Amino acid sequence: MSYSVTKSSPFLIPPSAPTPSSTLPLSSIDKTAAPRVTVEFIQVFRHGQEPTNAIKEAFAKALVYYYPVAGRIVESNPGEPEIECSGEGIWFVEASANCSLEDVNQLDRPLRIPKEELLPHPPKDVKIEDCILLAQVTEFTCGGFTVGICFSHTVFDGQGAAQFMKAVGEMARRFPKPTTPPVWSRESIPDPPKPPHGPSPSFTVLKLETSIVEISQQSISNIKDEFTRDTNQWCSTFDVVTAMLWKCRAKAISSSLKPDDEVRLNVTASTRHLLHDILPSVNGYYGNCVYPIAMAKSINEINKTSLVEVVSLIRDAKEAFKTRFVDWMMGGLKDTHYNMPCGYGNLAVSDWTSLGFNEVDYGWGAPSFVFTLNDDANTIPFAIYLKPPAPKQGIRLMLRCAEKEHSKVLCDELLKLA
């Protein structure tokens, strides 16, 4: 059987009450961390009752409080985006599938419905890069539904976007207002002097493959226990999984690099806990609060280093990043800190497990599964950490960090630890 989705034409959902008209600045982090990047993800819910209408109304109510999201990204001066609070609203698509979620394996990989069918798209004459958020609700014959979201990373980081979606959920559940009041305050973030522009980075197009590997909670706990026995210190699930991945990938790609070639790890870390003296309120701020942590070792070093020692390297780098971020805010760093190196030796990781998308409740409980669909890039090898579909425990790795000749080796090495 062919599974398909019937979609309405996109239409605007404006705020349900009048909102201020103004132009708002973006922060220096907004403008440099992820300029004009659109992030895509899907929330899967196994049951609901007329969810489309409830979520439409909820967006309209949430936009009263988050009124900048109803506006557009504009650039009066090239390279200096800002938000025009026009009150236009978000683009929304109503959709229905001709199958149940069970028919398509709860939308687990590999997808049996093309991702384009589950995600919203604006009208052809509208640039998605100018939009702040778009949404699509797709209802399935079983009574389940999905919420497909595209959001601008220029305006939100993952935690900020999840905060907005939680507010939508609260409005759908008839809360009088969001429990966390939104905070804009982008002008409070320091804007340190920018270093001179060097040559534009050269991008090598890689032939990366997408793979899924699941790491069990028991395996993670075992390595945590081993780390504590050896060091008398504590480590996080993120530390353990990242050490596994960095070490296994180094071994998998060794055949294509020289023993002394560097393998770099780039982690996107939240800086909210470092902004209490900068923002009027960290709780509620939904702009970008991210800063990169970079580590580099030779292939030889990583291959010879134990897993516990790699965990220690990651923890040390996380500790050092706090000082580095504060130095950057004070104008003490002169490097282009957000420019991520390219090349096959590099690996970027992003942890989605604790952002908050898995906690959004539109009235029928939390989603059974949340997954991102930004998995078609071929310039920077990356991995995203997700919660596996309920009721599974552990961490799901969505890998797009190895070419075909190394992908199976990487997965096999990870499965030895999983």
361 noted as active-site residue:
yes
* Complete DSSP assignment for 155-204: T--HHHHHHHHHHHHHHHTT-SS-SS--B--GGGS--PPPPPP-PPPP-P
* Cα–Cα dist 35/37, whole Å: 6
Residue 350 identity (one-letter amino acid):
S
- Catalytic residue, chosen from 103, 108, 361, 375, is 361
Distances (CA, A) of 161 to 16, 80, 146, 284, 351: 20, 22, 17, 11, 14
Q: Residue 175 corresponds to which tokens in the numbers above?
A: 């809360």
Residue 199 burial (CB count, 10 A): 5
The residue behind tokens 């109803």 is: 70
Residue 273 burial (CB count, 10 A): 9
In the DSSP assignment, the letter for residue 70 is: G
* Cα–Cα dist 254/390, whole Å: 35
Residues 241, 247 contacting (CB under 8 angstroms): no
- Catalytic residue, chosen from 153, 337, 351, 406, is 153
Residues 287, 189 contacting (CB under 8 angstroms): yes
Tell me which residue of 326, 279, 365 sits closest to 46, measured CA to CA: 365
Residues 126, 133 contacting (CB under 8 angstroms): no
Strands of the sheet containing 23-25, edge to edge, are 23-25, 80-84, 72-77
- The catalytic residue positions are 153, 361
